[in-house]
Amino acid sequence: MAEALRAYALIAGAWIRSTMAYRFSFVMMTVGNFLATALNFAAIAIIFGHTRLLGGFSLPETAFLYGTSGCALGLADLVLGSMDQLGRRVRDGTLDTLLVRPAPVFAQAAADRFALRRLGRITQSALVLIWALAALKVVWTPADVLLVPVMLLSGAAIFGAIFVIGAAFQFWATDAAEVQNSFTYGGNGLTQYPPTIFAKDLLRGATFVVPLAFINWLPALHILGRPDPLGLPGWLDFCSPLVAVVACGVAGLAWRAGLKSYRSTGS
Amino acid sequence: MEALIRLERVEKVFQVRRKAGRLRSVRSEVRAVDGISFDIARGEMVGYIGPNGAGKSTTIKMLTGILVPSGGRLRVAGIDPARERTRLARRIGVVFGQRTTLWWDLPLRDSYELVRRMYRIPDDRYARNLARCVELLDLGALLDAPVRQLSLGQRMRGDIAAALLHDPEVLYLDEPTIGLDVVSKAKVRGFLRDLNTERGTTVLLTTHDLTDIEQLCTRVMVIDHGRLVHDGDLGGLHAVGDSERTLVVDFERELPPVRIAGARPVKVEGPRQWLAFPASASAAPLVAELTARYPLVDLSVREPVIEDVIARMYADRAAL
Ligand SMILES: Nc1ncnc2c1ncn2[C@@H]1O[C@H](COP(=O)(O)OP(=O)(O)OP(=O)(O)O)[C@@H](O)[C@H]1O
Ligand SMILES: [Mg+2]
């Protein structure tokens, strides 16, 4: 584990240094990333230009969901976003080169092309989140205050697990990145809106099949003092860390199985 | 002495699916490596040759731990590569002629720096090894270019250096001279020869260029259809393969195919004729006889090419 972190830091560091050599281009890319993700929030703001409530949620409440989901995805994307290149590596056999180095393949694949410009998404979501926290009219208990960082980290871990499971599938189906993207970026698109606007079946799927609801919906509903549209027991609101641990465990197993099945290419 | 590399009846079978009709696919097996055994002692420089698809790259991938053998036993420096891949990685160097192990978008210098830290190479040793590689492989002008901007030959030299910064005990090279020009080839060969004689690094290299083998290797192994068909010196290979050299003769005018003892006419093209003679025989008596009997303009001797040697070996084996 320590070896993996060290390798990750080494490779990511090299990429950061090399991006910094072209500072102007880096700034442009980061601003671009910021603006592209900000468009999502612009869409929400436009909706609230026409209505005061969306699914019963006010603008600050929706912004809270948006900010937490965006920060969680942003963190996962920053750390593991390069994983969706894995299919290409499997297809063209360049994974071979990672296997002959004295560092865990996982760390090497994750840190490859580490892109600091992804901070654009995080910054943008964090600004929205900060504004939401200031504008929300809720009474903060110590437990609620603690729940915010816990849900951000758990959410990032759940998104991260999805990235890794998606990468693991690319060992068998080299074009699985599309499917994975629909769960990560698509999942973000889902969880930045109030759950009350979606069909119950979709919510059930997003709770029990792909645990997107644990990224922010359930803990956020608790903080906002709102009932859960599925009427699930209240203690589930605190289960995000547990779900995150399980998701990471599954991701670890999937990765191992995938790597084991790797068989290089003929040239 | 215990062998540094030891293979005992090593096999690699790939399950492949081929399309049969529009939706159906049939499974079949490819025995890429089919029960190979050999030992390589520390300090040897061994050539590993064979026709396309013979199983050379597959063998090297098993020796590095990239592929897990389907059967048999394999040890490199006492380590089972598939099981302890990362531990082995510190002790071996690998160069794939077909693809780089460097970071594609990073400048060469940054790639080396990353290698230094990843392998935990002590500073003084790193500085020494890098300086040596930069000098001998002529990398000075390339260090600041991203790897993707390097030409094939430059990239190959860069890769060879990267594989050696941590002083590996074994160096595997899979087609290290593919696509190199004459000057680069000579440079790479000279470098590898020094590495082997001065540092005692054990080298296993695959190639389709027989000159690599002739200039570098005292021992050559030939593989075909996953089986080892020759293991010995290059001379032995010519003997086994019953191979022939060719005398290319330009006469002053067109002649009917000339007949002299010890050679057989192969081809006639205007005043130029090709005469084949056994690789083990000397060309001198043939040349003497030709010059005595015919008006010559020019004459040269062609060495047998590896494919011919191997093709002959197979013709012979099939006839057995
Ligand atoms: N990953 C793979 N999946 C399926 N079949 C493979 C794979 N790798 C190699 N093979 C098959 O195994 C056989 C040996 O391939 P290998 O790459 O070892 O040949 P080689 O001796 O290196 O040939 P070349 O000189 O062309 O590089 C070939 O028939 C090839 O099609
Ligand atoms: Mg090959």
Residue B313 lies in a domain: no
Nearest to B81 by CA among B68, B95, B90, B94: B68
Judged by CB atoms closer than 8 Å, whether chains meet at B101 and A97 is answered as yes
User: Within chain A, which residues score under 50 in pLDDT?
Assistant: none
Spell out which residues of chain B touch residue A112, defining contact as CB-CB under 8 Å.
103
B195 alpha carbon – ligand 2 mean position (Å)? 23
Q: Which residue has the higher pLDDT, B72 or B237?
A: B72
Spell out which residues of chain B touch residue A15, defining contact as CB-CB under 8 Å.
106
Same domain, B190 and B276: no
Are B126 and B171 a contacting pair, CB within 8 Å? Answer: no
ipTM associated with this complex: 0.83
Across B105-120, average pLDDT: 93
| Helical axes B123-136 vs B182-194, angle rounded to 10° | 140
Ligand 1 atom 1: residue of nearest CA: A265
What pLDDT shows up at residue A18?
86
Residue A29 lies in a domain: yes
What pLDDT shows up at residue A222?
93
Same domain, B76 and B216: yes
Same domain, B267 and B188: no
Atom of ligand 1 nearest to the CA of B54: 21
What pLDDT shows up at residue B239?
63
Judged by CB atoms closer than 8 Å, whether chains meet at A100 and B105 is answered as no
Band (B173; pLDDT cuts 50, 70, 90): very high
Structure token digits, residue B36:
């190979």
What pLDDT shows up at residue A182?
86
Shortest-distance ligand to the CA of residue B223: 1
Structure token digits, residue A215:
């990224």
Residue B89 lies in a domain: yes
Q: Above 60 in pLDDT, residue B319?
A: no
* Other Cβ atoms within 10 Å of B315 Cβ, number: 11
Q: Which residue has the higher pLDDT, B312 or B26?
A: B26
Same domain, B104 and B193: yes
| Count of CB pairs separated by less than 8 Å, A with B | 63
The last residue of a domain, from among B239, B255, B278: B239
Query: What is the tens place of the pLDDT at every residue in B139-156?
Result: 999 999 988 899 999 999
Range of the domain at A237: 2-261
Spell out which residues of chain A touch residue B66, defining contact as CB-CB under 8 Å.
96, 99-100, 264
Q: Would you report the helix, strand and coil content of chain A in percent, each value rounded to 5? A: 80, 0, 20
How distant, in Å, are the alpha carbons of A44, A50, A129, A186, A197 from that of A47? 5, 6, 18, 19, 13
What pLDDT shows up at residue B238?
65
Residue A266 lies in a domain: no
Band (B310; pLDDT cuts 50, 70, 90): low
Same domain, B151 and B256: no
Judged by CB atoms closer than 8 Å, whether chains meet at A263 and B67 is answered as yes
The last residue of a domain, from among B201, B220, B239: B239
Residue A35 lies in a domain: yes
- How many domains does chain B fold into? 2
What pLDDT shows up at residue A267?
63
Question: Nearest residue on chain A to B99, judged by CA atoms?
Answer: A94
Same domain, B44 and B113: yes
Band (B23; pLDDT cuts 50, 70, 90): confident
Judged by CB atoms closer than 8 Å, whether chains meet at B67 and A97 is answered as no
Range in A6-15, B16-25, B47-56 the model is least confident about = B16-25
Any idea what DSSP says for residue A114? -
What pLDDT shows up at residue B220?
92
* A2 interfacial to chain B (CB closer than 8 Å): no
Same domain, B248 and B224: no
* Other Cβ atoms within 10 Å of A238 Cβ, number: 16
DSSP per residue, B80-120: -TTTSHHHHHTTEEEEETTS-SS-TTSBHHHHHHHHHHHTT
Query: What is the tens place of the pLDDT at every residue in B222-256?
Result: 998 999 988 988 777 766 656 788 899 999 999 89
Same domain, B267 and B174: no
Residue A196 lies in a domain: yes
Atom of ligand 1 nearest to the CA of B223: 21
Band (B24; pLDDT cuts 50, 70, 90): confident
Beta strand pairing status for B45-49 and B219-224? parallel
Q: Between vectors from CA A93 to CA A90 and to CA A99, what angle results, nearest 5°?
A: 90
Across B82-92, average pLDDT: 94
Nearest to B193 by CA among B261, B264, B136, B269: B136
B207 alpha carbon – ligand 2 mean position (Å)? 9
Range of the domain at B195: 3-239
Same domain, B194 and B112: yes
Residue A77 lies in a domain: yes
- How many domains does chain A fold into? 1
| Helical axes A59-80 vs A23-50, angle rounded to 10° | 150
What pLDDT shows up at residue A127?
96
Are B234 and B211 a contacting pair, CB within 8 Å? Answer: no
Band (B315; pLDDT cuts 50, 70, 90): low
Same domain, B220 and B132: yes
Query: What is the tens place of the pLDDT at every residue in A115-152?
Result: 988 999 999 999 999 999 999 988 899 999 999 999 99
Query: What is the tens place of the pLDDT at every residue in B185-215?
Result: 999 999 999 999 999 999 999 998 888 888 8
Judged by CB atoms closer than 8 Å, whether chains meet at A263 and B64 is answered as no
Residue A267 lies in a domain: no
Interface test with B, best of A88, A95, A100 (most B CBs within 10 A): A100
Atom of ligand 1 nearest to the CA of B33: 14
Spell out which residues of chain B touch residue A263, defining contact as CB-CB under 8 Å.
14, 67
Across B105-121, average pLDDT: 93
Residue B315 lies in a domain: no
Residue A17 lies in a domain: yes
Same domain, B182 and B220: yes
Judged by CB atoms closer than 8 Å, whether chains meet at A15 and B106 is answered as yes
Same domain, B39 and B143: yes
Residue A205 lies in a domain: yes
Residue B314 lies in a domain: no
